Amino acid sequence: MLRGGLRGARWCGGLCSSLCLVGAGRSTLLRRPRALSAAFSSNGGGARSGGAPSAGASDVKPLDGVKILDLTRVLAGPFATMNLGDLGAEVIKVERPGAGDDTRAWGPPFAGTESVYFLSVNRNKKSIAINMKDSKGAKLIRELAAVSDVFVENYVPGKLAEIGLGYEDIQKIAPHIVYCSITGYGQTGPMVQRGGYDSIAAAVSGLMHITGHEDGEPVRAGVAMTDLATGLYTYGAIMAGLLQRYKTGKGLHIDCNLLSSQVACLTHVAANYLNCKIEGKRWGTAHGSIVPYQAFKTKDGYIVVGAGNDQQFVTVCKILNLPEVSKDSRYKTNTLRVENRKELIDILSTRFSEKATIEWLQLFEGSGVPYGPINNMQQVFSDPQVGSHQVFSVLHNGLVMKMDHPTAGRIAVPGPGVRYSDFAMSHPKPPPLVGQHTVEILKGTLGYEDDAIEELLRTGAVAQHEVR
């Protein structure tokens, strides 16, 4: 049975779910993680001043003590919660008993029996397998929400409300909760009941219309950029929600969706249409407003060069030994270069085709002009010294995380793209097996006794994965 002790408690307004027992005009703080309480001044609302790191700061992460109940599947939601887990949050991933997250079946490739796709976006999480269609399972979700700071879900609007897990339901029992919904198209409107996948949202949002060769068919990006952008928006929105709760003492609902995220990321292409009624088009590797800014074919591969201003263009011409081009009145300014794009690109392309990629890389080194080769994955994750000249920083920047998985063995995944001066995102926990932490969470987080857990397991309301 569930141990008592929390009845009559209410939630203090803070970044983390600090339980306060209120009575007789006083409140007693039961839990206040040091990382979060230290991050803000005692008078509320202002960040602590001073640039010097405190003693032992490397052991403290920004979200230490924050508990996230994660009901998301596939990519956008798991990517967001993985990034929050990297910052110290305790992420409890709720999965279906047996099958778990949809992406567990996405393959090949597999590492042993584990989907590499799933492994790539689920580190630093615990998994509890709950049958939410069972009333006892839904009750467990509500109990976990009551002791969590953040509730994240990516169901079609209304589905969770049908089983008493919608925002209004959770808000009643956990007014402190930062409840984040990730959908395909938002909470209202004619498309609200449609499921959302990256490719469809990329098509509807216009991203596919502007992606691909200039005279070719629409193309899907090589990775699910709409999902990933939504995950990053979600990640930031949850952080903002926690800060808002710190200021107001109340939780809130956050609406993230694939369509809005991708339309927001159309930036200048959308602004071109909104302000000048210029329709977006496909440019291949080139740019509609900057010339030259694209890939050029070399003797043995490709090099991408971008001249973002007139001086950089002069430098490009000098490196290519085309001084007459930089002096040509047709190419004096970027506006003129855009107007005379075809003629200029033909001249530059002919010259780039005369040397190998490595030769051009050597010539551009130290020039101040942005440039780089088009690498395959083997080149991206090879030794920091690529070829005999070009140095890349993938390994130097700590972008590969290695972990020992209970069934897949040693695995490696791309790590977070940000580094911090005061703490390191090291020693990641491997992605969990389905229900690997069910009993641990029921006992440690909810205080269930063995007999109650055994009954839940027997009836199929929950499942525990036994690692062999």
pLDDT at 297 exceeding the cut of 80: yes
* Mean pLDDT value of segment 371-385: 81
pLDDT at 51 exceeding the cut of 70: no
What local confidence, expressed as pLDDT, does residue 15 receive?
56
* Mean pLDDT value of segment 40-62: 47
- Sequence-distant (≥ 6) Cβ neighbours of residue 220 within 8 angstroms: 199, 202, 208, 211
* Mean pLDDT value of segment 408-423: 91
pLDDT at 46 exceeding the cut of 80: no
Span 437-461, pLDDT tens digits: 999 999 999 999 999 999 999 999 9
pLDDT at 315 exceeding the cut of 80: yes
pLDDT at 208 exceeding the cut of 60: yes
More confident residue, 342 or 48: 342
More confident residue, 416 or 30: 416
Confidence of residue 288 (pLDDT cuts 50, 70, 90): very high
Q: At what angle do helices 450-459 and 135-146 cross, to 10 degrees?
A: 140
* Mean pLDDT value of segment 41-49: 32
The amino acid at 68: I
* Mean pLDDT value of segment 362-366: 96
Nearest-angstrom CA–CA distance, 176 and 15:
9
| Residue 13 Rama label (left phi>0; alpha psi -120 to 50; beta) | beta
Greatest extent of the chain over all pairs of C-alpha atoms, in Å: 86
pLDDT at 138 exceeding the cut of 80: yes
* Mean pLDDT value of segment 92-120: 96
What local confidence, expressed as pLDDT, does residue 453 receive?
97
CA distances (Å), origin 455, targets 97, 108, 137? 15, 37, 12
pLDDT at 27 exceeding the cut of 70: no
Nearest-angstrom CA–CA distance, 97 and 50:
48
Class of residue 276 by CB neighbours under 10 A (exposed 0-12, middle 13-18, buried 19+): exposed
Span 351-361, pLDDT tens digits: 999 999 999 99
Nearest-angstrom CA–CA distance, 66 and 409:
29
Under DSSP, the state recorded for 448 is B
Cis peptide upstream of residue 33 (ω within 30 degrees of 0): no
Span 57-67, pLDDT tens digits: 467 899 999 99
pLDDT at 3 exceeding the cut of 60: no
Nearest-angstrom CA–CA distance, 250 and 171:
10
pLDDT at 50 exceeding the cut of 50: no
pLDDT at 232 exceeding the cut of 80: yes
pLDDT at 4 exceeding the cut of 50: no
CA atoms within 13 A on the CB side of 466: 2
Span 154-198, pLDDT tens digits: 999 999 999 999 999 999 999 999 999 999 998 888 887 888 899
CA distances (Å), origin 36, targets 174, 229, 328, 429, 452? 20, 27, 60, 22, 34
What local confidence, expressed as pLDDT, does residue 7 receive?
34
Percent of the chain residues topping a pLDDT of 70 = 84
Confidence of residue 1 (pLDDT cuts 50, 70, 90): very low
Span 141-160, pLDDT tens digits: 999 999 999 999 999 999 99
What local confidence, expressed as pLDDT, does residue 262 receive?
97
Q: Position of tokens 């971008």? A: 306
Mean pLDDT estimate for the chain: 87
DSSP strand pairing (26-29 vs 19-23)? antiparallel
CA distances (Å), origin 275, targets 23, 208, 259, 290? 58, 21, 21, 19
pLDDT at 248 exceeding the cut of 50: yes
427-465 b/e with 16+ CB inside 10 Å = b?
Answer: ebebbbbbbbbbbebbeebbbbeeebbeebbeeebbbbb
Nearest-angstrom CA–CA distance, 288 and 453:
61
- Sequence-distant (≥ 6) Cβ neighbours of residue 28 within 8 angstroms: 20, 21
* Mean pLDDT value of segment 369-378: 93
In this structure, of 149-163, 242-256, 412-426, the range with the lowest mean pLDDT score is 412-426
What local confidence, expressed as pLDDT, does residue 22 receive?
34
Is residue 180 classed as helix, strand or coil in its secondary structure? strand
Decide: 180 and 152 in contact? Cβ < 8 Å: yes
Structure tokens at 395: 């390994």
What local confidence, expressed as pLDDT, does residue 16 receive?
60
What local confidence, expressed as pLDDT, does residue 396 receive?
63
- The neighbouring-strand residues paired with 72 are none
Q: Which is the catalytic residue, given 70, 102, 227, 451? A: 227
Instruction: Measure the CA angle with vertex 237, ends 242 and 246; round to 5°.
Output: 15
Structure tokens at 403: 């972990």
Nearest-angstrom CA–CA distance, 265 and 259:
10
383 in active site: no
